């Protein structure tokens, strides 16, 4: 049987799922739960204090994005921001056209609303990706039609880490608008995975809408923003007291917003240093895996500038991802898989499928995403047990992809 | 690594994994035990020496699960005296094959007639249940066993005893069989649209719809009722 560690170490390698909150973020949030609990819409002092804090958070965030404070809409997270961007643009501009362009590798928070709009008569065109998981800017532009109101392309992919050419697509859309003397299509990007690693400068990226959330950047869960360029009209989804310039009603979640602003500030200040460190850990882990485990494949781009620095996605052939994940969990290692077995639909990862990976490869994939608190010791600990776990599951497995069948299987 | 994350669960506790939609599912202690300590699987050093007279293989890695079962059947007593297996699949697939192998060889070996009557529910009961989405894993074990016994019948010239699970075509235009519907139900289909989606087919022939709906009810009742 497998060797058991004397002492289990907790190795969290699922930062693309969510991150622990930074102590500094918690500290910034704390007063707004108990003492400064006022409603920012109230006129008395307590309300005004909350309102000032809100304004300051908005200023911090807009500075990180090189945007204006009034461009920032606070929401309940990445999913709501994505939904608001898609539904908001689609419905506010439907008299102009009902065509939207997106990609096959988007997060479900984008794919869900698009599928729903399709049912309501919208025409949705999805751009594919190459085998490394990259969308082509040219292909996106070629798909633009007169009735296209929105293009939505994610910034960094959550599963394989491929960084999409957002600035290039943005520039090409600007050029299209200018040449055709039109304000359409608008351009949205989901930057949830990118916020801790890449620039969020909306002027350089040429985006009209951008989604960011707190729970991937050591901030609180349940807090997100939608950047909305001035002059772009969207139809609100949540109606009520008219907060957030009437685009998103509901009393602002002040503590979470303060936390999100603090988290984004810290994440952007550290992004290059942290990115370099995490990229090194990814390379080290990948090198060790290749050295010690046969029949493995890197999914997504080579480790480097085209890939989110914290993401490593590997297929271990002939074994199934969920089984690997559960074994690793016994050793305190936490990661995720693209296998169908862990999904509600029993379909393997739509991202790996879009990249043209065969089903049996997708089933054996594991995603490791590093974070601030990871160190070389985590890689060493993981590699002490991973080869034996893969070996054990391979012994249990009747499958041998690409290799000759053992005579024992033949009748 | 941060000390903030505390790991409290140990081997005696079931693994709790939350699905993406928030519904939790749970592996029982038995599933966990068989997953981490699989019984009777074909070890590398046994490949050459294990003697068997029935072998069955079902599924494919593309579907997400594949199982192979080797049986040693005593021709006089028709009891399964020993068996080995290998499974490509998730935790519950591995555990259900392991528990099935235990059921087959315990108490001096199960007679093959009895083995052929084993239902997925029998494996499920012994496992202490599986989440609905994982039921199809245990069905594969039962099918691998049937295939291995059929192989034994063929090897011993008892062709009349081979069980043929002939599929019946329900919708001729789309070439959809009752087996397809059974598979779709096991993968979570409950209404007609689910079946269409799972089988990636267009609109069914009007005449075949009542029959498809009846099969849907039948298999849902059979596996989940």
Q: What local confidence, expressed as pLDDT, does residue A382 receive?
A: 96
| Domain end marker among A204, A238, A267 | A267
C-alpha to C-alpha distance for B57 and B141, rounded to whole angstroms: 10
For residue A194, pLDDT beyond 60: yes
Contacts of B48 in chain A (CB under 8 A): 408
For residue A403, pLDDT beyond 60: no
Q: Are residues B215 and B109 part of one domain?
A: no
Domain span at A319:
11-20+271-396
- The residue of A334, A346, A347, A349 whose CB has the most chain B CBs within 10 angstroms, and thus the best one to mutate to test that interface, is A346
In a domain, A408, yes or no: no
In a domain, B109, yes or no: yes
Q: What local confidence, expressed as pLDDT, does residue B62 receive?
A: 67
Q: What local confidence, expressed as pLDDT, does residue A342 receive?
A: 61
Closest CA to A174 of A217, A132, A208: A208
pLDDT digits (tens, 9 = 90+) for A299-340: 999 999 999 999 999 999 999 998 999 999 989 999 999 876
| Domain end marker among B142, B161, B180 | B161
Alpha-helical (H) ranges within B3-90 are 29-36
Tokens of B220: 């849902």
Tell me if A323 and B89 make a contact (CB, 8 A cut-off).
yes
C-alpha to C-alpha distance for B101 and B180, rounded to whole angstroms: 27
pLDDT digits (tens, 9 = 90+) for A163-178: 999 999 999 999 999 9
pLDDT digits (tens, 9 = 90+) for B56-71: 988 776 667 788 999 9
Tell me if A12 and B67 make a contact (CB, 8 A cut-off).
no
In a domain, A407, yes or no: no
CB–CB of A35/A50 below 8 Å?
Answer: no
Interface list for A 107-126 with B (CB within 8 A):
108
In a domain, B60, yes or no: yes
The residue-averaged pLDDT of B40-53 equals: 89
Least confident of A27-41, A294-308, B103-117: B103-117
Q: Are residues B150 and B199 part of one domain?
A: no
DSSP assignment letter at A162: B
Q: Are residues B22 and B115 part of one domain?
A: yes
Can you tell me which residue has the tokens 């202690």? Answer: B29
CB–CB of B89/B138 below 8 Å?
Answer: no
Q: Are residues B175 and B148 part of one domain?
A: no
Task: Give the model's confidence band at A408: pLDDT under 50 very low, under 70 low, under 90 confident, else very high.
Answer: very low
| Domain end marker among A267, A299, A317 | A267
User: Catalytic: B83?
Assistant: no
B68 CB within 8 Å of a chain A CB: yes
Q: What local confidence, expressed as pLDDT, does residue A80 receive?
A: 97
In a domain, A410, yes or no: no
In a domain, A347, yes or no: yes
Max intra-chain CA distance, chain B: 65
Tokens of A247: 């685009």
Q: Are residues A239 and A216 part of one domain?
A: yes
Q: Are residues A290 and A185 part of one domain?
A: no
Q: Are residues A287 and A246 part of one domain?
A: no
Least confident of A77-86, A256-265, A319-328, A367-376: A319-328
Pick the catalytic residue from B112, B130, B135, B137. Answer: B137
What's the total number of domains in chain B? 2
A375 CB within 8 Å of a chain B CB: yes
Nearest to B66 among A321, A341, A398 (CB): A398
Tell me if A20 and B2 make a contact (CB, 8 A cut-off).
yes
C-alpha to C-alpha distance for B55 and B68, rounded to whole angstroms: 7
User: B173 CB contacts (<8 Å, ≥6 apart)?
Assistant: B205
The residue-averaged pLDDT of A25-49 equals: 96
ipTM rounded to 2 decimals: 0.80
C-alpha to C-alpha distance for A64 and A219, rounded to whole angstroms: 15
Q: What local confidence, expressed as pLDDT, does residue B200 receive?
A: 65
In a domain, A361, yes or no: yes
A168-176, long-range: CB < 8 A, 24+ apart: A168/A137, A169/A135, A169/A137, A169/A140, A169/A141, A170/A205, A170/A206, A170/A207, A171/A206, A172/A137, A172/A138, A172/A140, A172/A141, A173/A141, A173/A144, A173/A206, A174/A206, A176/A141, A176/A144
What's the total number of domains in chain A? 2
Q: What local confidence, expressed as pLDDT, does residue A3 receive?
A: 73
Pick the catalytic residue from B15, B30, B63, B209. Answer: B63
The residue-averaged pLDDT of A347-367 equals: 90
Nearest to A398 among B20, B21, B86 (CB): B86
For residue B178, pLDDT beyond 50: yes
Q: Are residues B150 and B108 part of one domain?
A: yes
In a domain, B5, yes or no: no
Least confident of A31-45, A94-108, A364-378, B27-41: B27-41
Contacts of A5 in chain B (CB under 8 A): none
The CATH number assigned to the domain holding B190 equals 1.10.10
Nearest to B5 among A12, A321, A408 (CB): A12
Residue A126 host element (H or E): strand A123-127
| Domain end marker among B120, B145, B161 | B161
In a domain, B74, yes or no: yes
Task: Give the model's confidence band at A343: pLDDT under 50 very low, under 70 low, under 90 confident, else very high.
Answer: low
Closest CA to A211 of A152, A170, A267: A152
Which regions of B105-218 does DSSP assign to beta strands (E)? 169-171, 176-177
Q: Are residues B84 and B106 part of one domain?
A: yes
Nearest to A320 among B19, B60, B89 (CB): B89
In a domain, A411, yes or no: no
C-alpha to C-alpha distance for A125 and A143, rounded to whole angstroms: 8
The CATH number assigned to the domain holding A149 equals 3.40.640.10
Cα-atom radius of gyration of chain A, to the nearest Å? 23
Q: Are residues A102 and A223 part of one domain?
A: yes
Select the more confidently predicted residue: A191 or B182: A191
Domain span at B214:
169-224
| Domain end marker among A267, A290, A307 | A267
Q: Are residues B180 and B156 part of one domain?
A: no
Q: Alpha carbon of B81 to those of A402, A410, B52, B105, B152: distances in Å?
A: 34, 21, 10, 6, 13
Q: Are residues A365 and A288 part of one domain?
A: yes
The residue-averaged pLDDT of B42-61 equals: 86
Q: Kindly identify which residue of chain B lies nearest to residue A1, measuring between CA atoms.
A: B37
Task: Give the model's confidence band at B167: pLDDT under 50 very low, under 70 low, under 90 confident, else very high.
Answer: low
A318: Cα separation from own chain's centroid: 28
C-alpha to C-alpha distance for B59 and A311, rounded to whole angstroms: 32
Which regions of B112-194 does DSSP assign to beta strands (E)? 169-171, 176-177
Which regions of A254-321 does DSSP assign to beta strands (E)? 296-298, 311-316
Strand-pair category, A209-213 with A186-190: parallel
Interface list for A 141-170 with B (CB within 8 A):
none
Nearest to B88 among A8, A340, A398 (CB): A398
Q: What local confidence, expressed as pLDDT, does residue B166 receive?
A: 61
Q: Are residues A321 and A224 part of one domain?
A: no
In a domain, B11, yes or no: no
The CATH number assigned to the domain holding B51 equals 3.90.1010.10
For residue A236, pLDDT beyond 50: yes
Contacts of B93 in chain A (CB under 8 A): 320, 341
B188 CB within 8 Å of a chain A CB: yes
Q: Are residues B186 and B111 part of one domain?
A: no
- Give phi and psi for A212, each to the nearest 5: -140, 145
- The residue of B13, B20, B61, B138 whose CB has the most chain A CBs within 10 angstroms, and thus the best one to mutate to test that interface, is B61
Tell me the three state secondary structure of residue A111: helix
Strand-pair category, B176-177 with B169-171: antiparallel
Interface list for B 112-171 with A (CB within 8 A):
133-134, 136, 151
The CATH number assigned to the domain holding A349 equals 3.90.1150.10
Q: Alpha carbon of A163 to those of A91, A155, A190, A191, A352: distances in Å?
A: 29, 6, 11, 10, 15
- The residue of B9, B60, B90, B92 whose CB has the most chain A CBs within 10 angstroms, and thus the best one to mutate to test that interface, is B90
Q: What local confidence, expressed as pLDDT, does residue B116 receive?
A: 87
Strand-pair category, A123-127 with A99-103: parallel
Q: Are residues A57 and A166 part of one domain?
A: yes
Nearest to A346 among B66, B68, B187 (CB): B187
Q: Are residues A192 and A263 part of one domain?
A: yes
Tell me if B90 and A345 make a contact (CB, 8 A cut-off).
no
Tokens of A269: 């200040």
Q: Are residues A118 and A184 part of one domain?
A: yes
A330 CB within 8 Å of a chain B CB: yes
In a domain, A402, yes or no: no
Round the average pLDDT of chain A to a whole number and report it.
93
Where is mean pLDDT largest: A248-257, B31-40, B49-58, B131-140? A248-257
C-alpha to C-alpha distance for A77 and A231, rounded to whole angstroms: 23
Contacts of B43 in chain A (CB under 8 A): 395
Q: Are residues B52 and B117 part of one domain?
A: yes
For residue B128, pLDDT beyond 70: yes
Q: Are residues A210 and A172 part of one domain?
A: yes
CB–CB of A11/A382 below 8 Å?
Answer: yes
Q: Are residues B38 and B132 part of one domain?
A: yes
Tell me if B64 and A396 make a contact (CB, 8 A cut-off).
no
Q: Are residues A329 and A279 part of one domain?
A: yes
Q: Alpha carbon of A81 to those of A7, A191, A279, B25: distances in Å?
A: 42, 11, 28, 29
In a domain, A37, yes or no: yes
Q: Are residues A286 and A256 part of one domain?
A: no
| Domain end marker among B106, B138, B161 | B161
C-alpha to C-alpha distance for A180 and A175, rounded to whole angstroms: 8
C-alpha to C-alpha distance for B50 and A301, rounded to whole angstroms: 44
Q: Are residues B182 and B217 part of one domain?
A: yes
Q: What local confidence, expressed as pLDDT, does residue A76 receive?
A: 97
Q: Are residues B52 and B127 part of one domain?
A: yes
In a domain, B6, yes or no: no
């Amino acid at each position: 049987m497998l060797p058991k560690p004397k002492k289990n170490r907790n190795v969290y390698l699922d930062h693309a799922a969510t991150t622990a909150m930074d102590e500094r973020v918690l500290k910034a949030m704390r007063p707004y739960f108990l003492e400064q609990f006022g409603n920012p819409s109230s006129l008395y002092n307590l309300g005004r204090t909350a309102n000032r804090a809100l304004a300051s958070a908005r200023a911090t965030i807009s500075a990180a994005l090189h945007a204006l404070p009034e461009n920032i809409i606070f929401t309940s997270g990445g999913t709501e921001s994505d939904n608001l961007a898609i539904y908001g643009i689609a419905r506010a501009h439907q008299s102009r056209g009902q065509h939207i362009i997106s990609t096959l590798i988007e997060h479900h928070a984008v794919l869900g609303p698009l599928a729903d709009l399709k049912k309501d008569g919208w025409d949705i065109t999805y751009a594919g990706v190459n085998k490394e998981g990259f969308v082509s800017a040219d292909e996106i532009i070629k798909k633009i039609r007169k009735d296209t109101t929105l293009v939505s392309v994610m910034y960094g992919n959550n599963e394989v880490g491929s960084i999409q050419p957002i600035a290039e697509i943005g520039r090409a859309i600007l050029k299209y608008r200018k040449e055709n003397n039109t304000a359409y299509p608008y351009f949205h990007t989901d930057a949830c995975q990118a916020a801790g690693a890449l620039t969020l400068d909306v002027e350089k990226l040429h985006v009209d809408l951008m989604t960011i959330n707190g729970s991937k950047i050591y901030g609180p869960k349940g807090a997100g923003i939608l950047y909305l360029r001035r002059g772009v009209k969207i139809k609100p989804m949540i109606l009520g007291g008219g907060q957030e310039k009437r685009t998103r009603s509901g009393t602002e979640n002040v503590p979470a917003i303060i936390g999100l602003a603090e988290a984004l500030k810290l994440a952007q200040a550290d992004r290059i240093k942290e990115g370099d460190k995490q990229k090194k850990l990814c390379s080290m882990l990948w090198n060790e895996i290749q050295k010690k485990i046969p029949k493995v494949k890197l999914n997504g781009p080579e480790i480097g500038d085209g890939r989110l620095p914290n993401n490593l996605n590997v297929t271990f052939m002939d074994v199934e991802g969920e089984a690997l994940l559960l074994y690793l969990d016994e050793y305190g290692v936490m990661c995720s898989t693209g296998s169908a077995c862990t999904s509600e639909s029993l379909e393997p990862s739509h991202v790996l499928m879009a990249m043209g990976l065969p089903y049996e490869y997708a089933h054996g994939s594991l995603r490791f995403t590093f974070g601030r608190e990871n160190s070389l010791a985590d890689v060493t600990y993981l590699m002490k047990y991973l080869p034996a776990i893969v070996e054990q599951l391979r012994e249990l497995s009747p499958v041998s992809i690409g290799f000759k069948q053992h005579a024992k299987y033949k009748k | 690594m941060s000390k903030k994350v505390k790991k409290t669960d140990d081997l005696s506790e079931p693994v709790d994994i939350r699905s993406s939609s928030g519904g939790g599912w749970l592996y029982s202690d038995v599933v966990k035990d068989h997953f981490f300590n699989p019984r009777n699987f074909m070890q590398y050093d046994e490949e050459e020496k294990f003697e068997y007279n029935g072998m069955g293989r079902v599924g494919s890695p593309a579907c997400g699960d594949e199982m192979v079962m080797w049986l040693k059947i005593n021709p006089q007593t028709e009891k399964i005296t020993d068996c080995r297996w290998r499974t490509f699949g998730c935790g519950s697939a591995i555990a259900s094959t392991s528990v099935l192998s235990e059921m087959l060889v315990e108490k001096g070996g199960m007679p093959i007639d009895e083995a052929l009557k084993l239902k997925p529910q029998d494996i499920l009961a012994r496992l202490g249940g599986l989440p609905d989405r994982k039921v199809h894993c245990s069905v594969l074990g039962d099918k691998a066993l049937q295939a291995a016994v059929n192989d034994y019948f063929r090897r011993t010239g008892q062709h009349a005893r081979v069980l043929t699970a002939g599929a019946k075509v329900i919708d001729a235009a789309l070439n959809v069989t009752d087996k397809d519907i059974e598979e779709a139900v096991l993968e979570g289909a409950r209404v007609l649209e689910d079946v269409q989606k799972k089988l990636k087919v267009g609109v069914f022939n009007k005449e075949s719809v009542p029959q498809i709906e009846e099969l849907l009810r039948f298999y849902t009742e059979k596996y989940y009722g």
